[in-house]
């Protein structure tokens, strides 16, 4: 093994830099050359790269974002694009490609297998935590921390004004962030895919209105609703209108949005990224089509197909905890 290439692809996540650092330092230790391609698969398409030295990556562990930039790349969905990416890897005599990203990025890796025979290794990095075969993905813990701190601040105003707040959090189509943040902030309501049937949102609304009204009679606190993105028709503004129409309930809306993706990675994410990066370099010398994960405290290797085909549900224990301590539910 002489040369390993790295890309960061899909949504950026805090800890991607820590993963790059870990791979490059491991390679340095094993006298393997490291090339970083920019802007996800686009860098491989357009031959945009730089050699990554230990000196360059040593001080980046605490930085959010990614020094290699990230992007989506439509051309990866076509044979021509895949062939061009394979040509670039062959031209640079790359033995293995490590992709740091989410499930889409790993599907790109699988598609590339048809045109390139080098080893392909995935490191799960997405704030959504929606990948199977790993307890958490790089970036998730940091996003939960960021959203928790933000909602703690919103809570002060919610309580001071005895107000209903609808706070939208990210997660694409999964509620890992919503449930973790909802529990961590003591939200009065968590609305996510796992506990709301999208075919009976009228019932969800009726229950929510009853819960808000019941709380009004028992205490003078604010009422915080943590809402998963992509759940409610027309998003948090749609829910605001529905509460107003249903029972003249006034509410304030706050979309946390991209602040959840940024910022310095948490210690958990830095450590996870470091462990997965070291194992990725080992795996790159022995196998292909593998995602590195961490399950029950152990760093593990999994077939990339399994990791992308399965959905990782929100822990049942978290859902039960919410129902157990949620007042009025
Ligand atoms: P996140 O969920 O955090 O945004 P992701 O890796 O899932 O991360 P996507 O936008 O789904 O993000 O995918 C990133 C890139 O991977 C796409 O822009 C595309 O280049 C490539 N990709 C995704 N799906 C496929 C596929 N089926 N075939 C080939 N390439 C794909």
Quick: pLDDT tens for 208-266. Answer: 999 999 998 888 899 999 999 999 999 999 999 999 999 999 999 999 999 999 999 99
Residues 254 and 109 in one domain: no
C-alpha pair distances (Å), 214 with each of 183, 219, 222, 264: 20, 9, 12, 40
**How many structural domains does the chain have?**
2
Closest approach atom of ligand 1 to CA 102: 6
Domain span at 224: 141-261
Of 295, 263, 258, 264, the C-alpha closest to 279 is 295
**Cβ contacts of 149 within 8 Å, gap of 6 or more:** none
Residues 96 and 117 in one domain: yes
Q: In the predicted model, what is the mean pLDDT of residues 53-80?
A: 97
Residues 291 and 304 in one domain: yes
Is residue 314 situated within a structural domain?
no
Whether 152 sits among the annotated catalytic residues: the reply is: no
Residues 174 and 67 in one domain: no
Residues 11 and 158 in one domain: no
At 142-170, the pLDDT tens digits run 999 999 999 999 999 999 999 999 999 99
Residues with CB under 6 A from ligand 1: 9-11, 41, 72-73, 76-77, 101-105, 107-108, 111, 126, 128
Is residue 321 situated within a structural domain?
no
Residues 135 and 194 in one domain: no
Q: CB of 83 within 8 A of CB of 112?
A: no
- Ligand 1 binding pocket mutation candidate from 105, 115, 116, 127 (most atoms within 8 A of CB): 105
Residues 70 and 146 in one domain: no
Residues 132 and 275 in one domain: yes
Closest approach atom of ligand 1 to CA 112: 29
Residues 108 and 147 in one domain: no
Is residue 13 situated within a structural domain?
yes
Per the structure block, which two tokens stand in for 62?
């605490």
CATH of the domain at 15: 3.40.50.450
CATH of the domain at 243: 3.40.50.460
Model pLDDT, residue 305: 94
Residues 244 and 284 in one domain: no
Q: Looking at ligand 1, which residue's alpha carbon is closest to its atom 31? A: 108
């Amino acid at each position: 093994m002489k040369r390993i290439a790295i890309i960061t692809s899909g949504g950026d996540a805090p800890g991607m830099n820590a993963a790059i650092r870990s791979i490059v330092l491991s390679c340095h230790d094993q006298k393997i050359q490291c090339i970083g391609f920019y802007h996800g698969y686009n860098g491989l398409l357009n031959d945009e790269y730089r050699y990554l030295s230990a000196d360059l990556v040593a001080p980046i562990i605490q930085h959010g974002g990614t020094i290699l930039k990230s992007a989506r790349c439509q051309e990866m969905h076509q044979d021509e694009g895949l062939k061009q990416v394979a040509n670039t890897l062959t031209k640079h005599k790359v033995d293995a490609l490590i992709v740091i990203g989410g499930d889409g990025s790993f599907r790109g890796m699988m598609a590339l297998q048809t045109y390139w025979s080098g080893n392909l290794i995935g490191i799960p990095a997405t704030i959504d935590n929606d990948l199977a075969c790993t307890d958490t993905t790089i970036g998730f813990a940091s996003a939960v921390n960021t959203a928790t701190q933000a909602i703690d601040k919103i809570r002060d105003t919610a309580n001071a004004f005895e107000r209903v707040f609808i706070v939208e959090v990210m997660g694409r189509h999964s509620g890992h962030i919503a449930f973790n943040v909802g529990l961590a902030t003591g939200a009065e309501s968590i609305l996510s895919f796992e506990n709301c049937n999208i075919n009976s949102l009228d019932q969800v609304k009726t229950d929510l209105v009853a819960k808000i009204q019941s709380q009004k009679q028992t205490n003078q606190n604010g009422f915080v609703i943590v809402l998963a993105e992509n759940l409610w028709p027309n998003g948090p503004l749609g829910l605001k209108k529905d509460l107003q129409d249903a029972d003249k309930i006034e509410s304030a809306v706050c979309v946390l949005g991209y602040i959840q993706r940024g910022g310095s990675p948490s210690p958990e994410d830095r450590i996870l990224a470091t462990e997965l990066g070291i194992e990725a370099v080992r795996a790159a010398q022995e196998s292909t089509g593998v995602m590195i994960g961490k399950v029950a405290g152990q760093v593990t290797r999994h077939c990339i197909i399994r990791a992308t085909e399965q959905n990782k549900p929100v822990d049942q224990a978290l859902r039960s905890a919410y129902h157990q301590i949620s007042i009025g539910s």
